Amino acid sequence: MRKPSYERHLTAVSTRFFATDTRIDDSVRPGIRRLETWVFPDIEKVSYTTYMLDASDIGRLDRLAYRFWGDPTLWWLLAWFNNIKNPFEDMSAGQVIKVPELSEVNAKVAEQLRRKGE
């Protein structure tokens, strides 16, 4: 039986991004790759510190993430926490941003994943 076109398309797209021997099994349909949405946990109530931006920080959330947490790939956390859609337009020198405590964010994520697994 031939797969519906959307399944063939997803499989073809998935093989470009994943190694060919990688399998993400679903308990309902083993061997089928699927995309899954992930809802970011509510981190509005985590503690944070503040930081005043200077001219060299504008548009460089990756540099700020490296400065605060040692990992530039966490730039998106600063953007999400401060509602920054476009770092070049939404950031200015003298602006104060909130820097969430990474340990508390990790605890919230772990709690959400634990609840999802139950």
Mean local confidence (pLDDT), 27-40 = 61
93-112 per-position pLDDT tens digit = 999 999 999 999 888 888 88
Q: What percent of the chain has pLDDT over 70?
A: 64
Residue 18 scores a pLDDT above 50: no
Domain positions in the chain are: 1-36, 48-109
Task: Please report, in angstroms and rounded to a whole number, the separation of the first and last CA atoms in the chain.
Answer: 35
Single-letter code of the amino acid located at 6: Y
Per-residue confidence (pLDDT) for residue 99, from 0 to 100: 95
Please tell me the distance from the alpha carbon of residue 91 to that of residue 93, in angstroms, as a whole number: 7
Assess contact for 91 and 58: CB atoms under 8 A: yes
Between the CA of residue 3 and those of 12, 32, 83, what are the distances in Å? 12, 11, 41
69-89 per-position pLDDT tens digit = 999 999 999 998 999 999 989
pLDDT band at 44 (very low <50, low <70, confident <90, very high): confident
| Confidence (pTM) | 0.63
Please tell me the distance from the alpha carbon of residue 97 to that of residue 94, in angstroms, as a whole number: 10
